Amino acid sequence: MSRAWIASPGAPLRGELAVPGDKSISHRAIMLGAIAEGTTRIEGFLEGEDTRATAAIFRRLGVRIEAPSDGVRIVHGVGLHGLQPADGPLDCGNAGTAMRLLAGLLAGQRFDSVLVGDASLSARPMRRVIEPLAAMGAVIEADDGRAPLRIRGGQPLRGIDYTLPVASAQVKSALLLAGLYADGETHVREPHPTRDYSERMLAAFGASCAFVPGEAAILGGFPLQARDVQVPADFSSAAFFIVAASVVPGSELLLRRVGMNPRRTGLLHVLRAMGADIVALRPGEQGGEPVADLRVRHAPLRGIEVPEQHVPDMIDEFPALFVAAACAEGETVVRGAGELRVKESDRIATMAAGLRVLGIRVDEAPDVATIAGGPLQGGEVDAHGDHRIAMSLCVAAQVAAGAVRITDVDNVATSFPGFDDLARGAGFGLRAA
């Protein structure tokens, strides 16, 4: 039986809090540390199920990874060609990032591998990585373009020049990782720039990787050199508190040292355009990434047309934005967001269903959602095993007139272990059902 929450209005959100480390950076730090020469110390590592799945996979591929304390990993790199075949399928759990990036990395090994995932991940589209990797010479079998992915090793890879049909940092990263093992240059072009953590980290580890927003190129054959990685707090996890403090009257919350990479912070532009009171304080740098403290105060919000250019920069924040929209005056229109339908759940459908139960009108088209702000009521809603849906509905419950029972919330631990304690500490009304 999966767990459920009962969420209801608590106190105004007050105080200071730090959310856990960035999921995208934590995955990549394990991967690059594993195939680098030397020892990589990771601080601020996200202790989530997704990132632990990645670490467990590399242990099975023969990499020694120590966990001396919470949030710290020491990865003893084996070099580009030092991974060993695992003794069975490699389980990515719920993590799309693990599966797609590993498809690229494992395509370049001399041994075969099989990648599997949970029910949600096994339903997500993998052709987007299989096809360009095949064009590089990789051999990957999958039924109907879905996991399990059976990756044949020992294939010579060659660099390609590839334009992504959809903006996807995961696909870009898979090709760059395969590009490490390819003959010549692998050049990836994007329809809209996406998060550039792979490029930044590859360059920092000494790969021959050049990049500008929307384009990245890597030359195969260069060894990676280990280096320490400091992981900033995950903006996507901060997003739930940013929206909660914006919509719960009387709130004033300070979120400490949040990752502010511009490819992640589209939600800030949109919330500010809706009237939110969010101030970035003490801007600085952590592990080569921009960070800041975010002070968020309650403010009345109004609905807007979300500018389409922000969509890729807030792709994981739409469930939270839907809640802000539900609390705003007037309509919020989201266009060009069809990618939301192939995330851990169909996030347009699952958020629309949840908000409708709470009394909010949401109209859907394949890549459009229109949310009409209004008063929220209590009820029973289903998170569909999607971590971000569970946390977003919990935020919605903080302004609902009655208690909200949220089912299927176990997967919150994939990206945000300890969310419930942190949320209660800030003032949320939230308990296990």
The site for ligand S3P (CB under 6 A) is made up of: 24, 97, 168-170, 173, 194-195, 315-316, 339
Q: Which residue's CB is nearer to ligand S3P, number 109 or number 194?
A: 194
What is the residue type of 224?
A: L
Q: Which residue's CB is nearer to ligand S3P, number 169 or number 247?
A: 169
Residue 28: CB minimum distance to ligand S3P, A: 7
Active site residue 316: yes
Go through 309-338 and write b for each residue having 16 or more CB atoms within 10 A of its CB, e for each that does not. Answer: ebbbbbbbbbbbbbbbbbbbeebbebebbe
Looking at the chain, the number of H-run helices and the number of E-run strands are 13, 24
Residue 209: CB minimum distance to ligand S3P, A: 15
**Could you give the CA distance from residue 377 to residue 371 in angstroms, rounded to a whole number?**
16
Q: If we measure between CA atoms, which residue out of 74, 44, 100, 69 comes closest to residue 289?
A: 44
Q: What is the DSSP letter of 232?
A: P
Residue 172: CB minimum distance to ligand S3P, A: 7
What SS3 class is residue 230? strand
Q: Which residue's CB is nearer to ligand S3P, number 73 or number 298?
A: 73
**Could you give the CA distance from residue 354 to residue 93 in angstroms, rounded to a whole number?**
25
Residue 315: CB minimum distance to ligand S3P, A: 5
Supply 53's token pair.
Answer: 């799945």
State the angle between helix axes of 197-204 and 169-179 in degrees (0 to 180), rounded to the nearest 10: 30
Supply 427's token pair.
Answer: 């003032």
Residue 261: CB minimum distance to ligand S3P, A: 11
Q: Which residue's CB is nearer to ligand S3P, number 98 or number 247?
A: 98
Residues in the chain, total? 433
Q: 154 vs 109, 132, 280, CA distance in Å?
A: 6, 18, 49
- Residue number closest to ligand S3P, CB atom: 24
Q: Which residue's CB is nearer to ligand S3P, number 97 or number 246?
A: 97
Q: Which residue's CB is nearer to ligand S3P, number 24 or number 407?
A: 24
**Catalytic entry in 316, 346, 382, 408:** 316
How far, in whole angstroms, is CA 8 from its chain's centroid? Answer: 27
Supply 74's token pair.
Answer: 């020491």
Q: If we measure between CA atoms, which residue out of 61, 90, 58 comes closest to residue 74?
A: 58
What SS3 class is residue 170? helix
Task: Give every strand in the sheet of 361-365, ordered side by side.
Answer: 331-335, 368-372, 361-365
Q: Which residue's CB is nearer to ligand S3P, number 8 or number 194?
A: 194
Residue 63: CB minimum distance to ligand S3P, A: 20
3 and 148 in contact (C-beta within 8 Å)? Answer: no
**Could you give the CA distance from residue 211 to residue 370 in angstroms, rounded to a whole number?**
36
Give me the active site residues, please. 316
